[in-house]
Amino acid sequence: MPAEKEEAYKSKLTEAVQAGFIILKKGGPALDAVEASIKILEDSPLFNAGKGAVFSSEEINELDAAIMDGKTMKAGAVAGCRTIKNPITAARAVMENSAHVMLAGAGADAFAAAAGLHLVDPSYFKIEERWAQIRELKQQENRSDKIAAPNKYGTVGAVALDASGSLAAGTSTGGMLNKKYGRIGDTPVIGAGTYANHTCAVSCTGHGEFFIRFTAAHDIAALMEYKGLTLEAAAHEVLINKVTRAGGVGGIIALDALGNTVTPHSAEGMFWASVDTDGSCHVNVCNMIID
């Protein structure tokens, strides 16, 4: 990765994690910190969420997001959105202002409009780098006379623990590049790509179909609660011994009620940032594989 782009990732990740920390330092709830951090990443074209979302096979942007409050066990999610500037805010609105957990497609967009959320023209999400990716992939399909395998481009997420001991998790994504038939991955599926309760908060990224099949995020919490595993052991068991062995690739950020954090991944790289209670910030932008 060019040094300039690496610094751009580090800067934006630092900005996002510090935004959440400022809220927590003032005694704010974990839910607010999670939303604030994710909104910054959604507004950046660097990440596959919000502004930087990849294109589907129909050459449109379809956005997914979810958020969960570990204290109340309330959750909200949106999927297949096309006009919501910040899907994570829409997910929270579903949680707090509706009787539902997940809304999808035109219905989710209509709900966001009725809720007074910030809507944008779909052209807002069309950035040159992502457009070039889908056009190149389409050209490959035409030349080979067969459908090219969809490439996978990441997800953004955040987990937080507040002063009251409450945990929260959120995740947002544009999904898979070249996804077809309105495909929805694990991000908005509570318990698969996003989950929080009294034991831990989890946000996942990767090949969503595998995280759905193994209910990955919830499984980590269950292993901790019912088998007494540590956060590190539970995350390793789910990601490496289940998801990865089955053929899935991805990563996890997770935080437990004691403030322990883990960031295991079986992909070639995963960028993350964290902040300690004293405000010390740690940023990781590198390529590595954890066995």
**Per-residue tokens: 280:** 């010390």
Q: What angle do CA 278, 280, 286 make, to 5 degrees?
A: 155
What residues are paired with 269 via a beta bridge?
287
Question: Catalytic annotation on 244?
Answer: no
Catalytic residue among 83, 89, 155, 194: 155
Tell me the HSE value of 256 on the side-chain side, using a 13 A CA sphere: 19
Q: Mapping DSSP to helix (H, G, I), strand (E, B) and coil, where does residue 273 land?
A: strand
Question: Which pairing describes strands 261-262 and 250-256: parallel, antiparallel, or unpaired?
Answer: antiparallel
Distances (CA, A) of 70 to 172, 194, 197: 18, 11, 4
**Other beta carbons less than 10 A from residue 283's beta carbon:** 17
Is the distance from CB of 108 to CB of 83 less than 8 angstroms? no
**Per-residue tokens: 130:** 């992502």
Distances (CA, A) of 280 to 23, 229, 273: 15, 27, 11
Among all residues, which ones are annotated catalytic?
155
